[in-house]
A and B are shown apart, each in its own frame.
Chain A
Amino acid sequence: MRDFIAFVRSSLGAVMHGSSAYYRWLAFLGVWMLLGCAAAAWQFANGLGVSNLTDQVPWGVYIANFSFLVGLAAASVLVVIPAYVYRDAALYDVSILGELLAVAAMVMSLLFIVVDLGHPELFWHLLPMLGILNFPQSMLAWDVVVINGYLFINAYVVSYLLFSKYCGRVPNKRWYFPVLLLGVVWAVGIHTIPAFLYASLGGRPFWHSAVLAPRFLASAFVSGPSLLIIALTVVRDQMHFPVREEALQRLRQIVGVAAVFNLFLTVSEIFVEIYPGTSHSASMRYILVGLHGHNLLVPYIWTGIALSVFAAVVFLARPLYSRPKLLLVACASAVIGVWIEKGMGLVIPGFIPTSLGEIVEYSPSFIEFCVSAGIWAIGAFLYTLMLKVAVPIELGTLRRPGAPNERIGLDPVRGAA
C-alpha cells in the first residue's frame, strides 16, 4: 500500500514536470478539451437538437469516431502477439506503448458513445441488476461489454507491469500473462462486435454484409500500428526512449500487408454492390458517385481511398518506406484514410437512402465538431500523461525510493520477464 502511494506520487511528479514543448502540447490539448467540454455541456443542456442529426440519419460523427476508435485499439494486440507469442524482442520493448494506446482508444470510444446518447445521465439503465442490460440480444449491449472489458484488461496489464517495475520487481507472469492472453482473444471481439453492430441490421443493405467484420479487422490492423509507428517515433525523438528500427519495420510490414488486404476487401465490396446493380447498391452509389444529385460525401470518400492507396504503396516499396519522413507521412495518411472509410464513410451511407427511399444528407454541426475534437484531445492528453509515467519506468529512471535504477524485463528470450 505504501508502495502504491509512492507510485501515485511519483506518477504525479512525472506528469507535472517536462520540457517547454511538453507544456505547450498539453496547453494546446487543454484548449481543445475546454472547448469540447463547453460544447458537450451546451449539447447536454439543449439536447441533441444542436447536432445535425435527423430521424433519417440518426448517427453521425460521434458513432463514426467510435467505429474508428475501436479499430485503433488493434495497436495493442498487434504488438502483444509478436512480443509475447513470437517473442519478438524489438516489439517486446515497446509493447506497453501499444497497450496504452488501446487504453486511450477505449476511453475515447466510450466517451463518443456517451455524448451520442439522448440521456447520458441515465447510463445506469445499462448496468446489470440496477438497470437492464439486454444481453445477449442487443449487439449494443455486447459492445458495452467488450469495450469496457478490453479497457479493463489493458489497463490492468499495464498498471501491473508498470507498478512492478516501479517497485524494482520483475513482473510475475502468473499475475499478468493469463489476462494478457485473454486480451488477445478479447481483441477478436473488440474488432468484430462493432462490425456486427452494423452488419446485423437486415434493413440496412450497405452494412448487411458478411465482409464487414473482416474489413473492420483489416482496417484496424492498418490504423492501430500506423498510429503506433508515429507515437514511437515521437517518443524516441522527444523522450529519448530507445526504439529499435526493427520495431518500426516490423510494424511497417504488418500495416503493409493489412493495407493491401483492406483495399482488396473494399474493392470486393464495391464490386459486389455495383456490378449487379440491384436496388441494394443505392448507398454504395451515393458514397462513390452520388445519388440523384446528392453527392456531399463523394469527394470525402475519394480522399480517403486515395490516402489509403498512397499509404499502401509506400508501405510496400523499399525506396519509399526507407525514408523515415515519408514513412511517417504514409502512416498519417493510412490513419486518416481509415478514419474516413471506417468513420463517416461507413456510418452515413448506411442511412442514405432511408428504408423508405428518402435522401437526407448529413455533415456535422459546429457543436458536434467541437465535442469530437474535445474527445480526441482528451485521448491525446491521456496518452501523453500515461507515456510520461510509463517511459521513465521502462527506462529505469522512475523508481520507488530505494529500488535499483535498472531496466527490467527487456528480453523475453532470455526469460527476464
Chain B
Amino acid sequence: MSEDHQNDDEREAVVEGVGKAQASRRRFLQVLGAATATAATSQADAAPWEEYFQQHYKRLTDEDKREIFARLEAEVQDKYGVAVHISDPKPIDGVEFAYALNLQACVGCRRCEYACAQENNTSRSPEMHYIRVLQMDKGSLDVERSNTTYEGAVPTAEHYYQPVQCHQCRDAPCVRACPVNATWAEPDGIVVVDYNWCIGCRYCEAACPYFARRFNYEEPTVRPSEINPDQGYLSNRLRPRGVMEKCTYCLHRTRKGLMPACLEACPTGSRKFGNLLDPNSEVRQVIETKRVYILHEDAGTNPRFYYYFG
C-alpha cells in the first residue's frame, strides 16, 4: 500500500508539473491576443480526436492517464482560468467504505446537500444535487409519502428527515444495466462513472432504486470562483454534458483519509462514515450496536448505506 501511494504521489507531482507548464504557456498565448488565437486553436484541435478515441479507464496506462489529466487540467484553465489538480487516488487494500445515518438526529437542514455540491463541482445551473433530503411523516417509513421540496424552519414537530444519496450497492442494478461498463464498483465498494466512456443512455438511472444518479442534460456550469480545484478523475472533476454522474463518497478525500464533505457539514453528527472491515471503526460499531434500517431492502441491492436509530 505504502509503495503504491509513493508512486502515486510521485506521479501526481509529475502531473502537476505538466499541468502547470501547460497552463502557463496557455496564459502566455492568451496575453498575445488575437494574432495568436489561431495558433491556440490549432493546439486545441488535436484534443477533440484524442478525447473521442480515449479508451475506457481500466484500459488506460499510467502514461495515458498522465496525458489525459494534463489535457483536462489545461481545458479547465482555458475555459475557466482556474488551475485545478486532477488526481486518481487508488482504492486502499483492506478498506470497504460504508455510511451510517442517524434518522433520529437528522434535522433536515440540507447542509450536507449544499456542501456536497460545493465539494463535487456539481452544476449550479441547472442546479444538481446528489443528496435528496426527504421530509418524512412521523409514523411512516414510506418514502412515497415524503416531501423533498419542503421550506421553512426545520425540524417540525410532525416530521423526521431522511437524506438519501448513492447507496454504493454490493449488487448494484446500475452497474449491471450499463451497456458499455462505463460504471462499476471499485474494490473499496465505491461505484464510479468513467465520464469519458458513458454514452448517456440513462439505463442506470432507470435501474437505480434510490434516485441516486444524475444526468447532465445541459452543459453543467460552476462559477470559476466556486470550482473546487482538488479533483478526482473518477469523482469530482468537471463533467461534460450528456453523461451520468453520482455520489462517490468523495473518494478523492476519503481514499486519502479525510471524511466525505456531507459528513463534515452535518451540524448534528448524524452521519458516520468509515471502513466496514475495521472492527473498531465507528460505522462498524453503529451497525453492530444500533437498530439499523435499510432503505428499499426488498430491491435486493445490498447497499453500503445504513440508516439507524439512536
Contacts and interface: CB of A to CB of B under 8 A. Distances in A.
Interface stretch (B195-203, B257-265, B283-291): B195-203
B202 A140 contact: no
28 contacts: A47-B219, A47-B241, A49-B241, A56-B211, A58-B215, A59-B202, A118-B198, A118-B217, A118-B243, A120-B199, A122-B52, A125-B182, A132-B56, A133-B179, A137-B176, A139-B177, A140-B177, A144-B179, A201-B173, A203-B209, A203-B299, A355-B143, A356-B143, A356-B148, A356-B211, A357-B134, A357-B144, A358-B148
Question: Interface SS of chain A: helix, strand, loop or mixed?
Answer: loop
Given A140-B177, A197-B203, A202-B299, 8 more contacts: A48-B215, A49-B219, A55-B205, A117-B200, A122-B52, A122-B197, A134-B180, A202-B209
B132 interface: yes
A48 B243 CA distance: 10
Contacts of A119: 198-200, 242-243
Interface in A345-391: 350-351, 353-358
A118 B203 contact: no
Given A53-B217, A125-B199, A202-B299, A58 B206 contact: yes
B250 to A, nearest CB: 21
B180 A131 contact: yes
B164 A356 contact: yes
A202 B173 contact: yes
Given A48-B217, A126-B199, A118 B210 contact: no
Contacts of B10: none
B296 interface: yes
Contacts of B208: 203, 355
Nearest to B203: A140
B143 to A, nearest CB: 5
Interface in A97-140: 113, 116-123, 125-126, 131-134, 137-140
A19 interface: no
Interface string B135-149: 000000011111010
A203 B296 contact: yes
Contacts of A121: 52
A141 interface: yes
A116 B215 CA distance: 13
Given A47-B241, A126-B180, A204 B213 contact: no
Contacts of B143: 355-357
B40 to A, nearest CB: 23
B278 interface: no
Q: Which of A55, A123, A141 has the most CB of B within 10 A?
A: A55
A118 B179 contact: no
A394 B209 CA distance: 53
B112 to A, nearest CB: 16
Contacts of A94: none
B104 interface: no
B176 A355 contact: no
Contact of B205 (A51, A58, A137, A353): A58
Interface in B222-241: 241
A130 to B, nearest CB: 10
Nearest to B143: A357
B254 interface: no
Q: How large is the interface on B (under 10, 10 to 19, 20 to 34, 35 or more residues)?
A: 35 or more
Nearest to B149: A358
Interface in B3-58: 52, 56
Interface in B155-190: 164, 173, 176-182
B90 interface: no
A355 B198 contact: no
Contacts, number: 143
A55 B208 CA distance: 11
Interface residues of A, number: 46
A117 B178 contact: no
A357 B178 contact: no
B214 interface: yes
Contacts of A353: 144
Contact of A357 (B146, B200, B299, B301): B146
A357 B146 CA distance: 6
Contact of A356 (B146, B178, B207): B146
A245 B208 CA distance: 51
Nearest to B59: A132
Given A131-B180, A132-B181, A144-B179, A48 B200 contact: yes
Q: Which of A53, A121, A355 has the most CB of B within 10 A?
A: A355
Contacts of B206: 58-59, 201, 204, 350-351
A48 B144 CA distance: 28
A51 B142 CA distance: 31
Contacts of B242: 47-48, 117-119
Q: Which of B198, B199, B209 has the most CB of A within 10 A?
A: B199
B108 to A, nearest CB: 14
A282 interface: yes
B139 to A, nearest CB: 15
A118 B180 contact: no
B217 A49 contact: yes
Nearest to B175: A137
Contacts of A279: 142, 144
Contacts of B216: 47, 118
A125 B197 contact: yes
B68 to A, nearest CB: 16
Contact of A138 (B178, B210, B301): B178
Contacts of B94: none
A138 B176 contact: yes
B267 interface: no
B217 A123 contact: no
A351 to B, nearest CB: 7
B300 interface: yes
Given A58-B205, A204-B206, A123 B199 contact: yes
B218 interface: yes
Nearest to A354: B211
A371 to B, nearest CB: 15
A179 B308 CA distance: 58
Contacts of B207: 201, 203
Task: Give the top 6 A-B pairs by smallest Cβ distance, nearest first.
Answer: A118-B200, A203-B209, A118-B242, A49-B218, A357-B144, A140-B179
Contacts of B145: 357
